Amino acid sequence: MSIGETYEEYDAVGLAELVRDRQVTPTELLDEALRRAEALNPTLNALTLLRVDVARRLIADGLPQGPLAGVPFLLKDLGAEAVDFPCNNGSVLTAGTTYAQDSSIYARLRAAGLVTFGRTTAPEGGVGPATEAAVYGGPTRNPWNLDRVPGGSSGGAAAAVAAGIVPAAHGSDGGGSVRMPASCCGLFGFKATRARLPDGPYVGEGWAGMAIDGFLTRSVRDTAVLLDATQGPDLGAPYYAPPLAGTFLEATRREPGRLRIALVTTSFTGEPVHAECRAATELAAELLEEMGHVVEPALPDADTPGMMRAWTKIVACGTALSVDGTLRKKGRDLQPGDIEGVARGAIAYARTLSGADYLEAVGKIHAYGREMAAFFERYDMMLTPMLAEPPAVIGRFNHATEDYVDYRLGPSRVFAYSPFAAAFNASGQPAVSLPLHWTPDGLPIGVQIAARFGADELLMALSARIEEARPWFGRRPPVRLASA
């Protein structure tokens, strides 16, 4: 089997096993990743800030004997601060930002033995379900259909994994930003319980605790191993998730037991979703029933519109904080071309909010979490569509508009397109996007399953059993490289 065939046929865990068995070398895997990046990135525009010299130095210095030693890897161009990998944070204003020390999550990824060689594209500030930031000179495209978005904000990561440039990549999720790209690109995307992964030392929490790091993968076990390598509080964490009973990888080998699952086929406020998204969810419900679980229609009694308005306020304030802090460091005022329209609108909106308004929004988020927790007293899991529509056309969610509130809350805008994802950022619950359906014209359609707060292992166990029942690893997009 050629190195290209090997790279195509194995997930990250499998490639690491081959490295340990000396059947392939880290350099061979890196060279194959770079070959694919060179061939595919001009079409996809998913990679940025490549540091091949750093990756080769990591190998030459001797990789840690971690569970993923020798596997090529990419960081999202937002967060995951690393000395060796400057970051644009999706913005012209912050392009090329450098760091004096590694973030906790990158230090743990490096200790796992991963060979990081660059970053993946993200929308400015991580705001939005598409990845079309000006700093990259054009949109990032979906390898399943180049006219469609790969999702956001971890859109570059999803495009890179789906196209086979890397077997797994870092992402983050503050309103669905791992799960939406997973849905758009036919991947597995797991958002862990709030504070399961470290945020330090650069921040204490993201977006009032709604944002968390994560990963885009093609197999459940890859995500499990990545989570095992990175989970747990870091030094000085303001709070942390309930401890695991075992490991995520152990959870993939367990049976979840007979579960009671709430089925949602409309938005949480009753609006219909696209027929393909509903069909995907109903087919998943049938599968879960075949597996022995109890599935019944139900809608949570929770103020989702109020939560979304609060989310919009919190993220606006976060955008203003980030931009203002950068300008203070640069010692200058905002200039034309520094940031895009949505960020300008977010800052303008934040200026209308008081400290009391912000705290009221945080309180609303907390109240929503309690409402959802009450619903999950009756159910172990909730099954929903991941998105209300198939992957959007490029340009629909670009950041040109300065009407930030309309961009989030307006008809046919972000929350109408993605009415399910942010709910579990607000509640802090674990949730996953599973690639179980494709439209007749070949677009991936993910379904979401959420679990009770802290029940990450149960959700991982269920995900592994679904993967066994309806495997997706062999599905490949039309934009990919021959494995010669």
pLDDT digits (tens, 9 = 90+) for 411-421: 999 999 999 99
pLDDT at 54: 98
Rounded average pLDDT over 122-142: 97
Asked whether residue 385 carries a pLDDT value surpassing 70, the answer given is: yes
Which residue, among 171, 78, 135, 129, has the nearest Cα to 394 in the 3D structure?
Answer: 129
Which residue, among 442, 478, 466, has the nearest Cα to 219 in the 3D structure?
Answer: 466
Do the beta carbons of residue 173 and residue 143 sit within 8 Å? no
Structure tokens at 244: 């695991």
Rounded average pLDDT over 42-61: 98
Q: In this predicted model, what pLDDT tens digit does every residue of 325-342 receive, in sequence order?
A: 999 999 999 999 999 999
Rg over CA atoms, the chain: 21
Asked whether residue 483 carries a pLDDT value surpassing 80, the answer given is: no
Asked whether residue 482 carries a pLDDT value surpassing 80, the answer given is: no
CA separation for the pair 166, 115 (Å, rounded): 11
CA separation for the pair 419, 411 (Å, rounded): 12
Using a cut of 0.75, tell me whether the model's pTM lies above it.
Answer: yes
Q: Which residues are catalytic?
A: 76, 153, 177
Do the beta carbons of residue 323 and residue 350 sit within 8 Å? no
Asked whether residue 484 carries a pLDDT value surpassing 80, the answer given is: no
Q: Which residue has the higher pLDDT, 209 or 484?
A: 209
Q: Which CATH architecture has domain 3-306+358-469?
A: Alpha-Beta Complex (3.90)
pLDDT at 326: 97
Do the beta carbons of residue 383 and residue 287 sit within 8 Å? no
Evaluated on CA atoms 222, 252, 228, 418, the torsion sign reads positive
Rounded average pLDDT over 40-69: 98
Q: Is 239 exposed, middle or buried (0-12, 13-18, 19+ CB in 10 A)?
A: exposed
Query: What pLDDT band is residue 29 in, cutting at 50, 70 and 90?
Result: very high
pLDDT at 242: 97
Long-range contacts, stretch 58-66, CB < 8 angstroms, 24+ apart: 58/110, 58/115, 58/116, 59/26, 59/27, 59/30, 59/115, 63/26, 63/113, 63/115, 64/110, 64/111, 64/112, 64/113, 65/113, 66/111, 66/112, 66/113, 66/114, 66/229
Query: What pLDDT band is residue 387 in, cutting at 50, 70 and 90?
Result: very high
Proportion of the chain above pLDDT 70, given as a percent: 99
Beta strands per DSSP E along 363-467: 381-385, 431-438, 444-451
Rounded average pLDDT over 378-387: 98
pLDDT at 139: 98
Do the beta carbons of residue 434 and residue 385 sit within 8 Å? no
| Cβ-Cβ contacts under 8 Å for 68 (sequence gap 6 or more) | 12, 13, 16, 112, 113, 114, 225, 226, 229
CA separation for the pair 50, 223 (Å, rounded): 23
Beta strands per DSSP E along 271-359: 294-297
Asked whether residue 389 carries a pLDDT value surpassing 70, the answer given is: yes
Q: In this predicted model, what pLDDT tens digit does every residue of 256-297 receive, in sequence order?
A: 999 999 999 999 999 999 999 999 999 999 999 999 999 999
467, containing H or E segment: helix 456-469
Do the beta carbons of residue 215 and residue 169 sit within 8 Å? yes
What is the residue-averaged pLDDT of the chain? 97
φ, ψ dihedrals at 37, nearest 5°: -60, -45
Asked whether residue 123 carries a pLDDT value surpassing 70, the answer given is: yes
Which residue, among 17, 14, 59, has the nearest Cα to 34 in the 3D structure?
Answer: 59
Q: In this predicted model, what pLDDT tens digit does every residue of 146-158 receive, in sequence order?
A: 999 999 999 999 9
Q: Residue ranges per domain, the chain?
A: 3-306+358-469, 312-355
Rounded average pLDDT over 422-444: 98
